[in-house]
Amino acid sequence: MIAILSLLSIRLRVVAAALIPVTFVTAVAFQAHAQEAPPKVSVSFGIDTTLTDVGKVVGLVRAYLAKPDSSARSRGLWSTATDFDRRVGDLTMDAYQGFPATIVGVAPDGPGDSLYVVRVLYARGDSAGSRISPLALQRLFAVRESGAPFGFRLSGALPRLTDGWERRTKGRVTFWYAPGQQPDSAKISHTSSFVDSVAVLFHVPPPNHIDMYVTRSMEEAQRAIGLDFFPEASADRGRGGRALFGGIVLAGNPALGEGYVHEVAHVILGPTFNGRSRLFNEGVA
């Protein structure tokens, strides 16, 4: 019994040591920027709003961007037809930083007229109009639903863009692999065990489930959630992952792959330590 307890103690110390270099800033990890609706929403010259469905989708996007938050569900603007949209919703909140928005694309996604892909560019120009500073190119989907105020409701990109990805599940974690990424069974086992070990170490309830998306870069990971362009991903600043709400982890460093436990720690500890000060959170992990 003493030997077993000693082994457990050693294991927990190893987990704690792994957490020390982790910058655990929960508020930053789950919402990197304060949310601010675009002051203006324009429509690109290439979009024909006289087409009935296109006009409805444009109206829907305008209404949502006036207040892009979780209240969109209760207002009937965001779909609740799938578990993902009910539980997670919009993962592209980083786009809402007070930049003017331009709807640059509304087009059917495949045959039929029940699903449209919407692209919105967030950019700011100088007073002379000679310099444009783009922030993000966002991709959302508009799904035709009966009873919707505009005939359509918005829906997230992630489930649709990753539907064909290979996946593996072990314990509480499902690992999703972008094309070209190969599963590593040792890293899968390590991260799966890490989840429960951290929960035990900090006396917090483990998450019900974690979805980790393993990609060849953060740019590819951001595209999967609906940010086709975002400076944080496009500039190589060494950032290889991100923890999002809904138990979602982006692992965009192929050298670490499934072993990127840095962001997994955010998901495990976030619900308990979210109200702590930034200084405290940085020191926890």
**Residues 116, 193 share a domain:** no
Cβ atoms of 251 and 262 closer than 8 Å: no
pLDDT digits (tens, 9 = 90+) for 9-18: 445 454 554 5
The pLDDT score that the predictor gives to residue 280 is: 45
| 55-59, 115-119, 229-233, range with the lowest pLDDT | 229-233
Look at residue 278 and tell me whether its pLDDT is greater than 60.
Answer: no
Q: Are residues 194 and 261 in the same domain?
A: yes
Q: Are residues 122 and 263 in the same domain?
A: no
| CB neighbours of residue 7 within 10 Å | 10
Domain that holds residue 65: 41-156
Count of domains observed in the chain: 2
Q: What CATH number does residue 188 fall under?
A: 3.40.30
Residues 6+ apart with CB under 8 A from 19: 198, 265, 284, 285
Distance in angstroms (rounded) separating the CA atoms of residues 130 and 2: 72
For residues 82-93, give the mean pLDDT: 95
Whole-angstrom distance, CA of residue 215 vs CA of residue 253: 7
CA 241, chain centre distance (Å): 11
- Is the residue at 35 inside a domain? no
Co-location of 151 and 173 in the same domain: no
> pLDDT band for position 112 (50/70/90)?
confident
Task: Please write the tens of the pLDDT for every residue from 231-275.
Answer: 875 555 556 899 998 999 999 999 999 999 999 999 999 888 775
The verdict on 268 and 169 lying in the same domain is yes
Last-in-domain residue among 156, 186, 214: 156
DSSP for 210-225 reads EEEEE-SSHHHHHHHH
Q: Has residue 36 been placed in a domain?
A: no
Q: Are residues 230 and 116 in the same domain?
A: no
Distance from chain centroid for Cα 145: 24
**Does residue 54 carry a pLDDT above 50?**
yes
Whether residue 25 is predicted with pLDDT greater than 90 in this model: the reply is: no
Q: Is 105 found in the same domain as 182?
A: no
Same domain, 192 and 95: no
Query: What is the pLDDT of the chain when averaged over all its residues?
Result: 86
Q: Are residues 256 and 173 in the same domain?
A: yes
Whether residue 52 sits in one domain with residue 13: no
Which of 138, 156, 174 is the last residue in one of the domains? 156
Q: What is the pTM (predicted TM-score) of this model?
A: 0.85
Cα 218-220-224 angle, rounded to 5 deg: 110
- Cα 230 from Cα 219, distance rounded (Å): 8
pLDDT grade, residue 70 (50/70/90)?
confident
Is 140 domain-assigned?
Answer: yes
Query: Do residue 168 and residue 280 come from a single domain?
Result: yes
The CA radius of gyration of the chain, in Å to the nearest whole number, is 21
Residues 169 and 277 occupy one common structural domain? yes
The answer to the question of residue 139 being in a domain is: yes
Answer whether residue 148 is part of any domain: yes
Domain containing residue 115: CATH number: 3.10.450
Return the pLDDT at 29: 40
Domain boundary among 117, 140, 156: 156
